[in-house]
Structure 1
Amino acid sequence: MADSYVALEEEGDGCCVVEENENPMVLYDFRKEDEHLNLEFSQHVVGGVVEPTLDMEFISEDDARNFYNAYAKQTGFSIRVNSYYRSKKDNLIISREFCCSKEGFRRDKHSRKTDSGDDTKRRRARPITREGCKALMTVRKRENGKWYVAKLEKNHNHELVIPAMRHFLRSHKEEDDPKKSLNGTIGSMGVGLNASVNVLPEDYNSFGKLGFAAQNNVNFIRRGRLSNFGVDAQSLLAFVKVMQTSDPAFYYAIQVDDEDRLSSVFWVDTRSRIAYNCFSDVISFETTYQVNQYKMPFAPFIGVNHHRQSVLFGCALLADETESTFIWLFTTWLEAMSGRQPGLIMTDYDSAISRAVESVFPKSRHRYCKRHILSKMPKEIGHVFSSLPKTFQVEFEKCINNSETPEEFESAWQLLLDKCSLRGNEWLQSLYNDRKLWVSTYVRDTFFAGMYSIQPSKSVSSLFDGYVNAGTTLQDLAEQYERALDGRYEKEVRAEFETFYTKPVLKTPLPMEKQAAEVYTRKLFLVFQDEIYESLVLAVKSSLDDGLSKTFEVARFDEEHKVYRVGINIADQIASCSCKMFEFEGILCRHVIAVFKATNIFLLPQHYILKRWTKNAKEGAKFDALPSVEIHDNSLKGKKQYNLLYQEAIKCAEEGMASDHSFNVALNALREARIKIVSAKKNAINVQKLETASSTHYTDDKTT
């Protein structure tokens, strides 16, 4: 049958037209067709997927295209209409080829049009999606008007897309529905897949129906803020209770006052707890969000994932902003995270928070959030800010961002105070006293993972911006919380899709760039690629050589006055730059790259590739689960057994989502395992009863 397609050209029966059409297609619904068609297709079901076969027949060309597109979606690839033949007799289409969208290779014109010319106008080349895949299905029209599969190739030369990401494939794109929950985004474990849940059931309309009981890990304070909000508070409590029902490792805790009234509440889901184990090196804690008419602080714990995106590590509604409340919250959060302290915690510039951080996180570095400090300027120095808002802020940010040495900062700070007549301002004096905790030149030896942003509006920590504000009621908070997270998870899935299923365009022939493209996520590779590209315009000059190490002076050809110093141990391939970009961002700077090239080091040493920025950053992600059910004993052995079982269940969930077939296999295996476990548990109880009865009988006989 494959030859019949080729015969068209040989017989002079038609003319070929190449057509590249990759527009979204309407999926074919076989359930609406007649029973005969369903019966025919059912004969070709393999692993839950209807597969095309040679001679398979369709009523029309559109039916064939929609079938192949539906098959592609189930399998994990996108299709394109590649070419067709027209009859020389009546000019009607008599043959059509549908191919994998990765067929062929990109034409050179794409790379020539981009990344050239003025830096300010340079447009980054689109990722490479074509890899020369040979998979295709060709259909030909019979004399009776029906179409049949004349040529077929099922094998692909690339990885197929997992179900959670298939909606990003071009021929499967559907219109966004804001009311849809994002089924098939990041899994409940932060490393797999999970369906979203409805967290506000309508039947939770009274306190009694909640069945709410305070957990053991609570502290006491004087006021009970949440207890005053009636139904509003009940909705919030319904949210955390239902979340715990749908997510067994969902963790929440409440704080009550001395009259047992609800005061503060904290919650975190499984996905966030596992993500924290991958990205616990940097977290941000803010209380700048306020909700409802009582202006309760909404306080999220936020980190950065391997795509430089915000990731949630839990959040709380607080009764107040006192030291005791923050100590309760930090202690509770740390317990939820299995006692694992963050490497760095960024907080608002607040004395109560600072004391609580010092008390609960003694092993963590503490730095202040520059974004929060800048947001406080209108209040703290209003007279200056109102008269010269743009001028002052520009000068202020230049002072804290552009000073490359402490001496430069000291000079710029004093000039700013004199220029704006701000000497004696207590708030600014306090900031100056704490300058080593927030000013760029003092904190560049601290790893921030991109959370110390020059532009506050671009801060990766603003996860709930646009979702939570002073007008948000507690009842609305749960819905807004879900929307914010759904949006973030969808962005993470898209970033994963682009990282794993497309390839970046390389700008240089350097092995280091190719290596980085293979290990880094797309976002981080693009950051590193810019550093490689900029290293090409740097001049390197040796200034010191003591035998073991060398020092180089590095500068742009057009900025010879701006010199960076790079020290390097060539034998160990260890280098340090005065710009401290690697210490600050976790990405090697252009200056070190230039020195590496000058010293014949063409591959990135492994100690300069942080796992948290790589494609496999979440590999082996797990956490010490805190069971919501009582284990057989509270010993260390019991907890280890629980954690081991939990991790194995997670692995089954991850692997089970690879395809519909693997899902059914995993589901059946888990159900069968549960039946066996329940049976084993009953047998163990019966054996224990028999042993107890036997022991009692033996004792009675002995007594007699």
Structure 2
Amino acid sequence: MKYMSKVNRSISKAQKAHADDAEYSGFSMKSTVDSMSREVGGPENLGFTNKDYMNYIHRKRMSKMEKGDAGAILQYFQKMQSENSSYFYSIQLDEDNMITNIFWADARSISDYGQFGDVVCFDMTYRTNEYGRPFAPFVGVNHHKQTTLFGAALLYDETIESFKWLFETFLSAMSGKQPLTILTDQSAAMARAIQEALPQATHRLCVWYLYQNAAKNLSYVFHGSSEFAADFGNCMYDYEFEHEWLLAWNAMLEKYSLKENKWLNALFELREKWAMVYGRHTFTADMKSTQRSESMNNVLKNYLMPEHNLLRFLEHYERVSADRRYQELTADYKMIHTTPVLAVSAHMLQHGAEVYTPEVFSLFEKEFVRIHNYSTYKVGKCGMTSEYIVSYSSEHNEHLVKYEAPAHNVECSCKKFTFIGILCAHALKVLDKKNVKRIPPQYILKRWTRQAKAVSIISYRENEVHGNPKVSTGKRYGYLCRTSGDILTVAADDEELTKYAHECLV
């Protein structure tokens, strides 16, 4: 029992580094001590007790916060920026030196925004547990149609001033590049701030959020008729021409006696921000709502504990970012080492498989396969431009497609390429009729291709361990563990090698 005596107990630097990594990864104290015990052959070989470990972790947490939230967080950001000068952060403090608003984005997020920042989702539904601050991630979609993070903020409140500061700060981090489209929930303060700070961006409202509000405000109508949900959904997502949409909207109000409904009248005034008929001219990267932000918030809940303060929130946010990037790396690897099986043998489909990522190619393939069920007939010609009506046997809608030779320019009334970036079945039907065997280059968006990030590849390797004073003890410890682990594993299989390795180590 001598190892339990206080004079024989101490936590080594290497063990502290191990403990810090476990704390950063969100492991419980018990599971960490159990793991460390197994590594050394039992708790009697650790050199410390569970109580020693708990005391160390608590002292570590307290020392981080001894300067107060502002001081500790500022120190954290300065450390991150010293390791990578491209790391961006901005903090607002009030007259009492208390934090009001925070924004941060690392180098990878800023680079990703340069590639995929054409559409941004911004959501405020999640609040940090300890302070109740609104957490606001800037989220987009990459070439694999995965959620990617462009930056994040913790706000003091949801006023116009706070939102305006945030959007202006976001632009500063992103070298002034404004998104083409920004998706948010229905907030008057946010809308005003976007109008002032992001005048070039098209502001769209989350249709999922609006539908949830409709279910609350019109619950008696939803329950009173089995057809209302379908009619309301059609007004949100369908129709290619404004006059058709207006007729359908008024018919819905008449059918369910809702002409005097205040909520629907207010919603009508915002129709250009949510009705798809008005959004077909705006690129949204196939995102109609802020559900990607909401799913990111759900992910965060798996990383964050109720007792986490602002500093630990930032540290654990890094884990979320790292996991997102690992998923992208996995998708890249799978893309390189697999070849999609084509649904049908066609030159254009083969071309699509060569240029698009697997996830985007799957969408393109679905559109291409549908062309065999469409019929087309010519309705006019003016110069080099021909007009066709494309219709589907089971659909009443007809689509007007314009085709211009010899550049193979094609435009469909459904505007799918405009708001998603992939040619629709109607346009593909006309191209097929014209014997066009490859996707015209003007209809291949780089952001959806396998080469989306090829031109601006940046090395995100960690700082070299040797000769770099900025590298922490934890990173050096991890480096030594990785390089020595394989050797020790081999040595442990043989008694003589174990003896030799032990002599080298001691």
Q: Match of 2:295, as an amino acid?
A: S
The structural deviation recorded for 1:353 is 1.1
Contact 1:521 1:615 in 2 (8 A): yes
Could you say which residue in structure 1 is the equivalent of 2:275? 439
Choose which of 595, 606, 623 in structure 1 pairs with 2:430: 595
Q: Percent same amino acid at aligned positions?
A: 34
The structural deviation recorded for 1:242 is 4.5
Contact 1:279 1:303 in 2 (8 A): yes
Could you say which residue in structure 2 is the equivalent of 1:203? 60
1:464 paired to 2:301: no
Could you say which residue in structure 2 is the equivalent of 1:275? 112
Q: 1:278 to 1:577 in 2, by over 3 A?
A: same
Q: Match of 2:371, as an amino acid?
A: S
Q: 1:560 to 1:391 in 2, by over 3 A?
A: closer
1:341 paired to 2:149: no
SS at match of 1:408: helix
Could you say which residue in structure 2 is the equivalent of 1:571? 406
Q: Match of 2:297, as an amino acid?
A: F
Note the 1:512-527 alignment, pairs <5 A. Answer: 512-527=348-363
Could you say which residue in structure 2 is the equivalent of 1:251? 88
1:400 paired to 2:236: yes
1:326 paired to 2:171: no
Contact 1:327 1:359 in 2 (8 A): yes
Note the 1:389-428 alignment, pairs <5 A. Answer: 393-428=229-264
SS at match of 2:354: helix
Instruction: Give per-residue Cα distances to partners, 1:443-474, cap 9 Å, x unaligned.
Output: 11111001116xx86x5763222424998565
Q: 1:236 to 1:621 in 2, by over 3 A?
A: same
The structural deviation recorded for 1:515 is 1.2
The structural deviation recorded for 1:438 is 1.3
Cα distance in 2 between the residues matched to 1:481 and 1:254: 17
Q: 1:247 to 1:205 in 2, by over 3 A?
A: farther
Q: Match of 2:62, as an amino acid?
A: N
Q: Which moved more, 1:317-326 or 1:362-371?
A: 362-371
SS at match of 1:445: coil
Could you say which residue in structure 2 is the equivalent of 1:262? 99
Unaligned 5+ segments in structure 2 are 1-24, 29-56, 469-506
Q: Match of 2:147, as an amino acid?
A: S
Could you say which residue in structure 1 is the equivalent of 2:332? 496
Could you say which residue in structure 1 is the equivalent of 2:266? 430
Cα distance in 2 between the residues matched to 1:250 and 1:575: 43
SS at match of 1:464: helix
Cα distance in 2 between the residues matched to 1:484 and 1:389: 43
Return the TM-score normalized by structure 1: 0.53
SS at match of 1:308: coil
Q: Match of 1:573, as an amino acid?
A: H
Could you say which residue in structure 1 is the equivalent of 2:442? 607
Q: Which has the greater radius of gyration? A: 1
Choose which of 194, 208, 211 in structure 2 pairs with 1:357: 194
The structural deviation recorded for 1:409 is 2.5
Instruction: Give per-residue Cα distances to partners, 1:385-424, cap 9 Å, x unaligned.
Output: 7856986544422321133332333233234434555444
Cα distance in 2 between the residues matched to 1:178 and 1:206: 19
Contact 2:147 2:324 in 1 (8 A): yes
Cα distance in 2 between the residues matched to 1:385 and 1:560: 28
Cα distance in 2 between the residues matched to 1:375 and 1:523: 29
Cα distance in 2 between the residues matched to 1:500 and 1:549: 39
1:511 paired to 2:368: no
Q: Match of 2:277, as an amino acid?
A: T
Q: Match of 1:402, as an amino acid?
A: D
Could you say which residue in structure 2 is the equivalent of 1:289? 126
The structural deviation recorded for 1:268 is 0.9
Could you say which residue in structure 1 is the equivalent of 2:378? 542
Cα distance in 2 between the residues matched to 1:331 and 1:358: 12
Cα distance in 1 between the residues matched to 2:59 and 2:371: 60
The structural deviation recorded for 1:261 is 2.3
Contact 1:570 1:599 in 2 (8 A): no
Could you say which residue in structure 2 is the equivalent of 1:56? none
Q: 1:482 to 1:394 in 2, by over 3 A?
A: farther
The structural deviation recorded for 1:552 is 1.0
Could you say which residue in structure 2 is the equivalent of 1:451? 287
SS at match of 2:391: strand
Q: Match of 2:296, as an amino acid?
A: L
Q: 1:560 to 1:277 in 2, by over 3 A?
A: closer
Contact 1:378 1:386 in 2 (8 A): yes
Cα distance in 2 between the residues matched to 1:295 and 1:392: 37
Cα distance in 2 between the residues matched to 1:391 and 1:242: 58
Could you say which residue in structure 2 is the equivalent of 1:174? none
Could you say which residue in structure 2 is the equivalent of 1:315? 152
Q: 1:404 to 1:345 in 2, by over 3 A?
A: same
The structural deviation recorded for 1:282 is 0.9
Cα distance in 2 between the residues matched to 1:513 and 1:237: 52
Q: Match of 2:429, as an amino acid?
A: A
Q: 1:503 to 1:424 in 2, by over 3 A?
A: same
Q: Which moved more, 1:431-440 or 1:240-249?
A: 240-249
Cα distance in 1 between the residues matched to 2:413 and 2:329: 36
Q: Match of 2:403, as an amino acid?
A: I
SS at match of 2:93: strand
Q: Match of 2:423, as an amino acid?
A: L
Instruction: Give per-residue Cα distances to partners, 1:305-329, cap 9 Å, x unaligned.
Output: 1111111111111111111111111
Instruction: Give per-residue Cα distances to partners, 1:71-112, cap 9 Å, x unaligned.
Output: xxxxxxxxxxxxxxxxxxxxxxxxxxxxxxxxxxxxxxxxxx
Cα distance in 1 between the residues matched to 2:293 and 2:332: 18
SS at match of 2:204: strand
Instruction: Give per-residue Cα distances to partners, 1:564-619, cap 9 Å, x unaligned.
Output: 11101021210100111100110011111111111121111111101111111112
Cα distance in 1 between the residues matched to 2:269 and 2:391: 34
Q: 1:276 to 1:585 in 2, by over 3 A?
A: same
Contact 2:133 2:155 in 1 (8 A): yes
Q: 1:388 to 1:274 in 2, by over 3 A?
A: farther
Cα distance in 1 between the residues matched to 2:339 and 2:101: 47
1:303 paired to 2:140: yes
Q: Match of 2:450, as an amino acid?
A: K
Cα distance in 2 between the residues matched to 1:473 and 1:428: 42
Could you say which residue in structure 2 is the equivalent of 1:42? none
The structural deviation recorded for 1:300 is 1.0
Contact 1:377 1:385 in 2 (8 A): no
Contact 1:326 1:356 in 2 (8 A): yes
Cα distance in 2 between the residues matched to 1:201 and 1:273: 34
Contact 1:565 1:578 in 2 (8 A): yes
Contact 2:127 2:133 in 1 (8 A): yes
Aligned alpha-carbon RMSD (Å): 3.3
Contact 2:342 2:349 in 1 (8 A): yes
The structural deviation recorded for 1:441 is 1.0
Cα distance in 1 between the residues matched to 2:192 and 2:101: 19
Unaligned 5+ segments in structure 1 are 1-176, 181-199, 211-229, 623-649, 658-662, 672-704
The structural deviation recorded for 1:363 is 1.9
SS at match of 1:253: strand
Could you say which residue in structure 1 is the equivalent of 2:390? 554
Q: Which has the higher contact order (CA 8 A, sep 6+)?
A: 2
Choose which of 368, 374, 378 in structure 1 pairs with 2:205: 368
The structural deviation recorded for 1:561 is 3.8
Larger helix percent: 2
Q: 1:385 to 1:618 in 2, by over 3 A?
A: farther
The structural deviation recorded for 1:272 is 0.4
